[in-house]
Structure 1
């Protein structure tokens, strides 16, 4: 297996070799964490609403742990489908205004299981080029034709739909908010195109669920096109602060997935304590409106601060704000320099993002204060100038 060492050396030479880093939580600060003895402002977490350490969620999990035990003990189709699952899926269906819901272990399993369960050889999936890897892998597993359209390019999508109009089943799938860029899909146009071409539409709300909509239902509800979406997908590992994923849709869809989604069928069910924690988080997501408002304010502030410093930052209120530096090595040096200033912000490099678009991906939380974000922006500006990323007259 000497070839592995050679390949790893190649990754290191290209500044795209990964390694695991260990962090510790800070008991009295949801927006900070420890690396060794260093306290860091966490600007890389997906805990958008600051719920990961909420005492009510932890208490709900503790109670379920004591009554239901540590693990579920089996897959959901054997004996792992405990009572907390049924309660949560009823809550999900109501929350998403759908007939039924289905909980998966995580977003990767949900996307790969749903796509491969709905389409097969003879079918086609139309997927945005910047969709998450779990969507891409779901298409590969399905063995359907993979028609990738240019990012948010609806004319290209129409051309591909026309090209593959004779395929048996047609599935359009997109992220609602794209995880590495923070921009939104043109969901209203996608809904119209779906109706026009007789396709199914699946929307991944992993980075928009909890953030948008009157009760945090997601961007589809915010835009009022939820009834045009056949498959609503989302996760509990971002805004909910826990772990897991869901699919919502018609009862027929959910019954089909119970029979055809292999990651659901052949995986041990989530521990009941996790499911109980999700239910409590659902209550908070729907009622703590102030968290969403504070997150919007933080996003607008941070975008304006970085823009004033001279960075090219798109408009919007998504908590995902990338600073694209291009070069992989510079991205790593940028991230390391930020850590020296007490800021955790990961360098994102290919293949997670396209070649030549390495970046620092900042992601905000409702718990971040104005002072924290202002201080962070100042450090980012100085480091950007030192590394030649930001050149100001």
Structure 2
């Protein structure tokens, strides 16, 4: 094969590098936690989704080890052949009970959950209306369908209602929203969305990836947070963030689960979770039921950190949750800010275009329950120092 075959890829990578959008994964040599090691250095971690510190919880680790000893390393098949073990079934029943729904179906990842559910539910007879800042997995899931589609400006309920009125005579309309928006850390106006859906006969689909384990009683999610039980048709959650393991799920009516078992392509054509993963997720959901003090600590830490940053003069956007962006600007400025933070002992990843608007680059900080106030004070001190040095903070 000629060595020049992929030169055009190098050209694109070079463009990304010049514009501050080139980034390879950092390799870590320690477990996920508030402090992590890479390249022989220990850094304060402000980019992890491990909201409750569950990745290292001894009960979850013990459940995974026990499952390996009982079932082996893998499940051996897709779910619809021999890949549904009793531990998978038990996890789904526990999830449904936790969420207060008739049933739940687990997918291999949060991303494939949205792909599988949306591509199954949306056909040429449907209209889907999506918030402009919804996660990439929602966008890609919608792209896989032949449904009519419309996008409303972020949390703009007037425009959403206008689109519902103009539904073009479609048989069914789905309103799709994140529960917590992953780049800005703000919460969807779910009560208003539900009221509009009920007024116009639409279905409500909520992706609670960053609300699972964070919002609601014991982390039940945004539906519980707003006391909207029975009024949200499709609840998507993740097992990869606050739950601390990996996977995603759909919670809702039993008929929805049975439909997705037959139609959800990622579910149908992917080997099921290793038994250790299913057992670890099950242990984590059971821990959530008694983890309200830990969730309270998470929110106390988030309020402390956000308030300190705002007092120093940083723009944290519309953050209402433990996701706290520090808005910087252009991609190259953002990349430089993140790099300098790393030199100061802080790992806070820069988020730039095309994930966010070109001029809305930010260092996205995520606070966890495992952080101490000393950790967060140290972080504020270093972010202020870099802010002054780079001119992000004036004066």
State TM-score, norm by structure 2.
Answer: 0.96
Residue 300 of structure 1 contacts residue 316 of structure 1 at CA under 8 Å; is this kept in 2?
no
Residue 75 of structure 2 contacts residue 273 of structure 2 at CA under 8 Å; is this kept in 1?
yes
What stretches of structure 1 of length at least 5 have no aligned partner?
none
Deviations 1:185-233 (A, max 9, x none): 0000000011011111110111011112222101210110131100011
Provide the aligned C-alpha RMSD in A.
1.2
Residue 131 of structure 2 contacts residue 153 of structure 2 at CA under 8 Å; is this kept in 1?
yes
The 3-state SS of whatever aligns with 2:354 is: coil
The 3-state SS of whatever aligns with 1:324 is: strand
Please tell me whether residue 6 in structure 1 is matched to residue 14 in structure 2: no
1:248 corresponding residue in structure 2: 251
Deviations 1:298-344 (A, max 9, x none): 00100111011111235765110001111111111111111111111
1:175 corresponding residue in structure 2: 178
Deviations 1:273-312 (A, max 9, x none): 1000001001111102111011011001001110111112
1:185 corresponding residue in structure 2: 188
1:15 corresponding residue in structure 2: 20
Please tell me whether residue 295 in structure 1 is matched to residue 294 in structure 2: no
Measured in 1, the distance between the counterparts of 2:127 and 2:17 equals 37
Deviation at 1:237, TM superposition (A): 0.7
Measured in 1, the distance between the counterparts of 2:204 and 2:318 equals 27
1:66 corresponding residue in structure 2: 69
Please tell me whether residue 114 in structure 1 is matched to residue 117 in structure 2: yes
Deviation at 1:61, TM superposition (A): 0.1
1:228 corresponding residue in structure 2: 231
Measured in 2, the distance between the counterparts of 1:188 and 1:235 equals 22
Question: Structure 1 residues 14, 316: closer, same or farther in 2, change over 3 A?
Answer: closer
The 3-state SS of whatever aligns with 2:163 is: helix
Q: Paired residues, what number? A: 390
Please tell me whether residue 52 in structure 1 is matched to residue 55 in structure 2: yes
The partner residue of 1:318 within 313, 317, 321 is: 321
Residue 303 of structure 1 contacts residue 315 of structure 1 at CA under 8 Å; is this kept in 2?
no
1:263 corresponding residue in structure 2: 266
Matches within 5 A, 1:333-348: 333-348=336-351
Measured in 2, the distance between the counterparts of 1:338 and 1:275 equals 37
The partner residue of 2:169 within 156, 166, 170 is: 166
Measured in 2, the distance between the counterparts of 1:203 and 1:312 equals 28
1:81 corresponding residue in structure 2: 84
The partner residue of 2:134 within 131, 146, 158 is: 131
